[in-house]
Amino acid sequence: MTDILKIIKMFLIGPFPQGELGGLAINIILALLTMVSGFVLGLLLVLGRISKKAVIRKITTFIVEMIRALPLLLIVFWFYFLIPLFSGKTLPLFLSAYLSVTLYSAVNQSEIFRAGFMNISKGQWQVASCMGMSYSQCIIHIILPQTLRMMLPSFVGFLLSLFKDTSVISIIGLIDLTQTGIMLSQREPNKLVFSYIVMGGLYFVFCFALSRVAKKIELKQQGCGAK
Amino acid sequence: MNYEFDWQAILSGQYLEWILQGLQCSISLMILSSLIAVAIGVFVTFGNLSTNPLIHFISSVYIELCRNIPTLIWLLFFYYVFPELFPEKIEIALNSSTMLNYWAAIAGLSISSSGYISEIIRGGIMAVPREQIAAAYSLGHSKAHIWKYIIWPQAIRNCFPPLVTRIIHNVKNTSLALSLSVHEIMWATQQIESITFRGLEVTILATIFYLTINFVLSHLASLAEKHVLATKN
> pLDDT tens digit string along B42-56?
999 999 998 899 999
Picking from B119, B106, B123, the residue whose alpha carbon sits closest to that of residue B176 is B106
Tell me, what's the pLDDT at A224? Answer: 63
Band (B68; pLDDT cuts 50, 70, 90):
very high
Q: Looking at chain B, how many residues does it have?
A: 233
Tell me, what's the pLDDT at B55? Answer: 94
Taking only the tens place, the pLDDT of each residue in B156-180 is 888 888 999 999 999 999 999 999 9
SS3 sequence, A73-141? Answer: HHHHHHHHHHHHHHHCCCCCHHHHHHHHHHHHHHHHHHHHHHHHHHHCCHHHHHHHHHCCCCHHHHHHH
- Alpha carbon B161 to its chain centroid, in Å, reads 15
Q: What is the mean pLDDT of residues A171-176?
A: 86
Tell me, what's the pLDDT at B211? Answer: 94
Mutate which of B1, B62, B76, B86 to test chain A, going by most A C-beta atoms within 10 A?
Answer: B76
Tell me, what's the pLDDT at B231? Answer: 61
Taking only the tens place, the pLDDT of each residue in B181-215 is 899 899 988 888 888 877 788 888 899 999 999 99
Q: Tell whether A203 is within 8 A of chain B (Cβ).
A: yes
Task: Give the number of other Cβ atoms within 10 Å of residue A213's Cβ.
Answer: 15
Q: What is the mean pLDDT of residues B142-157?
A: 89
Distance CA B160, CA B223 (A): 12
User: In A, which residues are within 8 Å of B72 by CB distance?
Assistant: 167-168, 170-171, 178
Distance CA B100, CA B93 (A): 10
Band (A227; pLDDT cuts 50, 70, 90):
very low
Maximum distance among all Cα pairs of chain B, rounded to whole angstroms: 76
What chain B holds in terms of domains, given with CATH numbers, is: 7-227 (1.10.3720.10)
In the predicted model, is pLDDT for residue B233 greater than 80?
Answer: no
Taking only the tens place, the pLDDT of each residue in A103-114 is 999 999 999 999
Band (B114; pLDDT cuts 50, 70, 90):
very high
Task: Give the number of other Cβ atoms within 10 Å of residue A2's Cβ.
Answer: 6
Q: Tell whether B72 is within 8 A of chain A (Cβ).
A: yes
Asked if the Cβ–Cβ distance from B73 to A73 is below 8 Å, we say: no
Return the higher-pLDDT residue of A81 and A44.
Answer: A44
Q: Residue type for A4, please?
A: I
State chain B's mean pLDDT as an integer: 88
In the predicted model, is pLDDT for residue A17 greater than 80?
Answer: no
In the predicted model, is pLDDT for residue A77 greater than 70?
Answer: yes
Distance CA B197, CA B3 (A): 12
In the predicted model, is pLDDT for residue B39 greater than 80?
Answer: yes
Task: Give the H/E segment covering residue B2.
Answer: none
Q: Of the candidates B81, B175, B207, which has its C-beta nearest A193's C-beta?
A: B81
Q: What is the mean pLDDT of residues A39-54?
A: 91
Distance CA B131, CA B145 (A): 16
∠ Cα A68 A206 A25 (to 5°): 85
Burial A13-26 (b: 16+ CB within 10 A, else e): bbeeeeeeebbbbb
Q: What is the mean pLDDT of residues A38-66?
A: 92
Closest chain B residue to the Cα of A201, Cα to Cα? B69
Q: Tell whether A16 is within 8 A of chain B (Cβ).
A: no
Q: Of the candidates A165, A171, A185, which has its C-beta nearest B179's C-beta?
A: A171
HSE of B192 in the Cβ direction (CA atoms, 13 Å)?
33
In the predicted model, is pLDDT for residue A134 greater than 90?
Answer: no
**Beta partners for A38?**
none
Please answer whether residues B118 and B48 qualify as being in contact, where contact means their C-beta atoms are separated by less than 8 angstroms: yes
**Beta partners for A23?**
A176
Distance CA B187, CA B176 (A): 10
Taking only the tens place, the pLDDT of each residue in B9-36 is 777 778 888 889 999 999 999 999 999 9
Give the ipTM of the model, two decimals please: 0.88
Distance CA B28, CA B223 (A): 23
What chain A holds in terms of domains, given with CATH numbers, is: 2-226 (1.10.3720.10)
In the predicted model, is pLDDT for residue A225 greater than 90?
Answer: no
Q: What is the mean pLDDT of residues B108-136?
A: 92
